[in-house]
């Protein structure tokens, strides 16, 4: 399952509503997935490959190791 290792962000589900909103709105199920990146990061002194969302990478919550 796709989950961010830092913040725990995971896919959420809801309804997609058509653009033409008439009195009968068409609804279809859909999912929103987090923008995950597979990164080598130092965690507890060890270098591990983890899935981290782009927001955590941007905010510097994870130090990327090359």
40-56 per-residue burial string, b: 16 or more CB within 10 A, e: under 16: ebeeeeeeeeebbbeeb
Assigned token pair, 4: 């961010």
Classify the C-alpha dihedral 51-57-63-66 as positive or negative: positive
Please report which confidence band the pLDDT of residue 8 belongs to, taking 50, 70 and 90 as the band edges. Answer: very high
Q: How far apart are CA 5 and CA 20, in angstroms?
A: 39
Q: Collapsing DSSP states into helix, strand and coil, what is residue 26?
A: coil
Give per-residue pLDDT as tens, 11-57.
999 998 877 766 667 788 999 999 999 999 988 889 999 999 999 99
Q: Which domains does the chain have, with CATH numbers?
A: 1-16+26-66 (2.30.170.40)
């Amino acid at each position: 399952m796709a989950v961010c290792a830092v913040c725990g962000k995971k896919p959420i589900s809801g309804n997609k509503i058509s653009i033409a909103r008439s009195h009968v709105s068409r609804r279809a199920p859909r999912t929103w997935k987090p923008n995950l990146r597979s990164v080598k990061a130092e965690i507890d002194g060890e270098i591990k490959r983890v899935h981290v969302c782009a927001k955590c990478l941007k905010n510097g919550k994870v130090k990327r190791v090359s």
